[in-house]
Amino acid sequence: MKNKGILIVVSGFSGAGKGTLMKRLVEEYDGYALSISATTRAPRPGEEDGREYFFLSEEEFEKRIADRALIEYATYCGNYYGTPRDYVEKELMQGHDVILEIEIQGAHKIKEQYPDALLLFVMPPSAEELHRRLSGRGTETKEVIDQRMRRAVQEAEGIEDYEYIVVNDDLETCVQTLHGIVTAAHHVPERNEEFIEKMRRELRGE
Ligand code: 5GP
């Protein structure tokens, strides 16, 4: 029973640990493809162009919007972020489960265009822990941390739009839970219509 790839949207407050989780998920299990977004935010120390993000100028980003090269984009804390179209479509065609690690406005736009997309929300165990993780990165100014905490207050209002929430307390447990959800999603009847039809034909002796 092999069906086509699932478009998986993973959102969660900045600092919830989505990046690390997604890296582990892709390392531990086959069949995933992690989309790399474009952004106008400056690279953090250690980030590389084409690995964490495609780092673009505003002008370059706006050209991609005009060329319809992004399947969605949003502004977040003063910067553009968007998902390149080519990679996502190519990987889905090849049967891979494509992960988009994007914020909530982007998640809504994806659900409108791809109603079958699976929407997951990753949360830290507590607000205090979120603050600790954001400060612990050591790469963000106090102002940016405060801005991201305020943004989390807004994003928390939209959590019910997601199909599953996962608490990132222990990394390995969380990775297994995420993989379990995706595996289960592959087994719903709506994603297996061809197989069901084939079985029906066989049972009828056709
Ligand atoms: P950060 O600056 O911490 O890397 O990302 C800030 C926020 O932008 C995160 O919530 C992240 O999930 C989101 N984000 C990253 N890439 C994209 C994208 O392509 N589209 C949208 N809509 N959000 C994104």
82: nearest Cα among 121, 115, 56, 118: 56
Residue with CA closest to ligand 1 atom 14: 102
Hey, is 82 helix, strand or coil? strand
Amino acid at 120: L
133-190: pLDDT as tens digits? 888 877 778 998 999 899 999 999 999 999 999 999 999 999 999 999 999 999 999 9
* pLDDT score of 128 more than 70: yes
117: nearest Cα among 95, 93, 94, 100: 100
Hey, is 202 helix, strand or coil? helix
Quote the mean pLDDT of the chain: 94
By CB atoms closer than 10 A (0-12, 13-18, 19+), residue 50 is exposed
Instruction: State in Å: Cα 13 to ligand 1 middle.
Output: 10
Residue with CA closest to ligand 1 atom 1: 14
pTM: 0.92
Residues with CB under 6 A from ligand 1: 14, 37, 41, 72, 74, 76, 81-83, 101-103, 105-106
The CA distances from residue 186 to 151, 166, 178, in Å, are 32, 18, 13
Ligand 1 pocket test, candidate residues 40, 79, 103, most atoms within 8 A of CB: 103
